[in-house]
Chain A
Amino acid sequence: MSSGDPLDLGLRAQAAAIAAGEVNPNGLLDAVLARIEQRNPALNAVVETFPERSREMLSAAPPGPLHGVPLVIKDEWPLPWRAQRFGAAELTVPTAPQESGPYRVLRDAGATIIGVGNMHELGAGSTGATSYYGPAHNPWDPERCPGGSSSGPAASVAGGLVAAAVGADGLGSVRFPAAYCGLTGLKPTFGRAAMEGHHMAPTTSLIVSGPLCADAGDCRLLGSVLCGEELAAGDADGLRIGVVRDSVSEDVTPDVRGACEEAIEALRGETGGEVREIELPDLEIAAVAAILIINSESMGGTTPQQLNELHPELSPVARGTLKYRMLLPAAATVQATRVRAMMRRRLATLFEDVDVIAWPTIPAPAPPLDAPVVDLPSGPTVADQANVRGGALANMTGIPAISMPVGLSDGLPVALQLQAAWGADALLLDAAEALERANGRRWVEARPPLAEATSAGA
């Protein structure tokens, strides 16, 4: 719900207001910087601003779909004036300031990069609880995890600092923070969104850039810019929704299960579609396979000597995890690639019978920052372990996925994930928009108390 303040408009509305001459982009930039100064101390979502660089971008901004709109970009890509830190004191690969792919497409679309978003250290977590900069905080409850690894982008949008942000998704890292913060987040089909300049771009087969926004329409706009092609609006009429009766949909809290089942039924009704139960075994094995694949892609070239000379400010968890990764057996990684082939073929077959596969993005709402553990029917579970089993499939197979808010549980967002066939990114947006119509945009317009409390005076 917009307060009428341009700062509280969504991405489409902000861009349209600028294009119509109703909002001065220079004034908006200053207002966004002021809001970051006001709200960021409680959120730690933005780890660096660079007003002069932002003003230079704005003064040189071409006409474009994002002309004059200030955005946050995750600390995962270099900018011409700043190397990425990846949320860490040190990377084991060299980095340098440069024009990354996301920077170029944002610049060419007329956007202004106003700040760098916090992230989970080394991208290695679904909660955002660990970062070189200290953790970002969830605007719905600052004591709770914002989700990771794109923690800062999500918290900056949910907290009303900016209308949209660019994240990255290697094992769910756009979708988890979108879910924890009540946003819509798109993980595009692998290879479709700008990735150049990412330190893993030459080796990764899982990571993509993706938008975090208030709703699906805003994700369509920013996603189209990131993909360099229009994710054209269509319809989701007659949508065939596949559901899996497995731990991803059943080992979840009752509130999550109820909200997601209600959303699936609402989506079916809105599209005049149908719900089909499908079999997709070995999801938990697929999740560990994805971890092994991303591990092998990230550790290539790392030497024992580098691991003996890690930066002293790298967290103990990161230090230990990096060293442990060297012990993982190569045979398991080879096996993981076979599992990938198996899951890709299974999905190709399944997508002949269904258009989307639906299950909860997260099995439980955001856990406390100081104890990121969730209570599931199977018992207390480390949030990372619980989250990855529903998030990894899209990355390991390349398919697109979207997370959208579908309710609140004790004041914290819960979310539904939809996954579709390769290249069907636009269909996911169509389906998400259909769900927004079905529930009267109730959940995409819900705003956290922090944003509500300070809007009037911001």
Chain B
Amino acid sequence: MEGATQTDQFIAGGLAALGIEADEVDLAVIAAVHQLLWPPIVELLALDTAGIEPEPCPDMSKAPGE
């Protein structure tokens, strides 16, 4: 399948480019995690955040702007 091929290439190619070794078990786990996590990541990236003012170094113990 085309989708599976692209995923395999992304995972194997990415790991190889970073010099990270992966055996068949690693690749199977990574493929499963990727299947769960990647769609919401794509959705996140597609979210229009152009109008959102960044909050640099937020103080997480307080409301923004406090």
Contact = CB atoms under 8 A, between A and B. Distances in A.
B63 A285 contact: no
Interface in A295-335: 304-305, 307-308, 316-317, 319-321, 323-324, 326-329, 331-332, 335
Interface in B9-55: 10-11, 14-15, 18-22, 25-30, 32-34, 36-37, 40-41, 43-45, 47, 49, 52-55
B46 to A, nearest CB: 9
A437 interface: no
Given A332-B45, A336-B44, A382 B36 contact: yes
Contacts of B43: 284-285, 288
Contacts of B25: 316, 319-320
A284 B30 contact: no
Given A316-B26, A341-B58, A327 B10 contact: yes
B61 A190 contact: yes
Contact of B29 (A288, A317, A338, A422): A317
Given A190-B60, A307-B20, A324-B34, A337 B54 contact: yes
Contacts of A6: none
A348 B65 contact: yes
A291 interface: yes
Contacts of B61: 189-192, 398, 422-423
Nearest to A342: B52
B3 interface: no
B44 A339 contact: yes
Contacts of A347: 63
A337 B60 CA distance: 12
A288 B37 contact: yes
B20 A331 contact: no
A247 to B, nearest CB: 12
Given A191-B59, A337-B54, A422-B66, 7 more contacts: A192-B61, A288-B41, A291-B37, A305-B19, A339-B52, A421-B63, A422-B61
Closest 8 CB pairs between A and B?
A320-B29, A398-B60, A191-B61, A341-B55, A288-B40, A190-B60, A338-B49, A327-B14
